[in-house]
Chains A and B, each alone.
Chain A
Amino acid sequence: MSDPHTNPVDPGRSPSLDELQRDADDLSGTILKIHSEIREALGGIRQMREAIESFSAQRLRDTQARLDEVSSTTENAALEILNGLDRTLAMVDELQVGIGPDRRPPGEVCDALRAEVNHLYGCLQFQDIVAQQIAGAGALLGDVETRLVAVAVLLDGSRAWKGPSNRAAPPAERGSGAYNANASVRDVAGRQALIDQAFGTARNGAGAGAPRQPG
């Protein structure tokens, strides 16, 4: 018995109409099966894309917002420091010119100079705040990276994930307790006033129930 599927037709012989019909039917079935599998895969990819979009887009927006704040914090601090340096130089000039009818006494200028330098010290606090903001942004990006790698592994299981990329571990990876992702220099005076109020209320509310409270 000859089987046209396992025994190819004699190259010298043209396939019969029945054979061609059978082959066409087989091909059609195979194409339908492939089409259905592709549709299924596309559906899965679409769902995955939507999941990635909703997860990543928000985090990337948050990252962008934090980096914007880093930028403005840095710029404001730099401007404040530059202004302070200008005032400092002006006072050095004042000291150099010496005493005159409309000049401040040198002791007064020195005090003002000292206050200005101390103010410049204070301005440098931006470094700590920016470091925490960047750690927060790094943590968000690390989150997105982990999610994208997981998706990549799903799409190509043969490529096992070997951990995060070779970047140096940012502070974010040293533990989220080591930074405050919401660190900000905005409205410090207003927030300090609210803190004082909340702190006072909380301490009064805690009263004797709070262990080892002062007062």
Chain B
Amino acid sequence: MKCLCIDDSATMRRIVLNALKTIGITDVVEASDGKEALAKCDGSIGLVITDWNMPVMGGLELTKALRSNPATARIPILMITTRSVKDDIMQAVEAGVNSYILKPFTPQLLKEKIDQICSAPSGPA
């Protein structure tokens, strides 16, 4: 499975990449904001892992953009963020985020969430 990892922090991207490698996902494309991610999101991407707060285009806007495009509307989206307010969760759900992880996270939790969203019976809409 090819994964698109988006975070404006290079440190976080490396940490997410390491965690993905730990759980067996090595085919990863990186982007530092939503706009760059949209340009890199082609039909080969099987999973999007995105931060929320980013310059240029944040994770929420990216999710909405992906969901509004039929070509990318079904890609599972996992958000990894520091935002934990209930309103944030509601916004993420409404935008079309499939799962949500709070930073700092562990590779085990990442695996659990990826397994959940990628094995959902009907898959992303």
Instruction: Name the one of B84, B92, B120 contacting A191, with C-beta atoms under 8 angstroms.
Output: B84
Q: A-B contact count, CB below 8 Å?
A: 120
CB neighbours of A132 from chain B (8 A): 53, 82
Chain B 73-92 per-residue mask, 1 if CB under 8 angstroms from chain A, else 0: 10010000111111001101
Tell me if A96 counts as interface (CB < 8 A to partner B): no
Interface contact B55-A194, CB-CB below 8 Å: no
Contact status B96-A199, CB under 8 Å: no
Complex: A172 Cα to B93 Cα, angstroms: 27
- Size class of B's contact patch? 35 or more
Pairwise interchain contact B107-A178, C-beta atoms closer than 8 A: no
Rounded to whole angstroms, the CA-CA distance of A175 and B33 in the bound complex is: 13
The residues in A between 124 and 178 inclusive whose CB is less than 8 angstroms from any CB of B are 124-129, 131-132, 174-175, 177-178
Are A128 and B12 also in contact (CB < 8 A) when A122-B105, A122-B107, A199-B93 are? yes
Cα distance, A134 to B68, chains bound together (Å): 34
Complex interface: chain A residues within 8 A of B7 (CB): 128
Bound-complex Cα distance A180 to B83 (A): 7
Establish whether residues B124 and A214, one from each chain, have CB atoms under 8 Å apart when the complex forms: yes
Q: How far, in angstroms, from A131 to B19 measured CA to CA in the complex? A: 21
> Once the chains are docked, how many angstroms separate the CA of A104 from the CA of B105?
29
| Smallest Cβ-Cβ distance to B104: which chain A residue | A125
A8 at the interface (CB under 8 A from B): no
Kindly list chain B residues whose C-beta atoms are within 8 Å of the C-beta of A58. Answer: none
Q: Which 9 A-B pairs have the closest CB atoms?
A: A183-B82, A125-B104, A212-B67, A202-B93, A214-B124, A178-B55, A198-B89, A128-B9, A121-B18
Interface residues of B (CB under 8 A from A): 7-9, 11-12, 14-15, 18-19, 22, 52-55, 58, 67-68, 73, 76, 81-86, 89-90, 92-94, 96, 98-107, 109, 117, 120-125
Give 9 A-B pairs besides A177-B55, A210-B93 with Cβ atoms closer than 8 angstroms: A118-B107, A121-B15, A128-B7, A131-B9, A185-B104, A192-B102, A206-B94, A212-B124, A213-B125
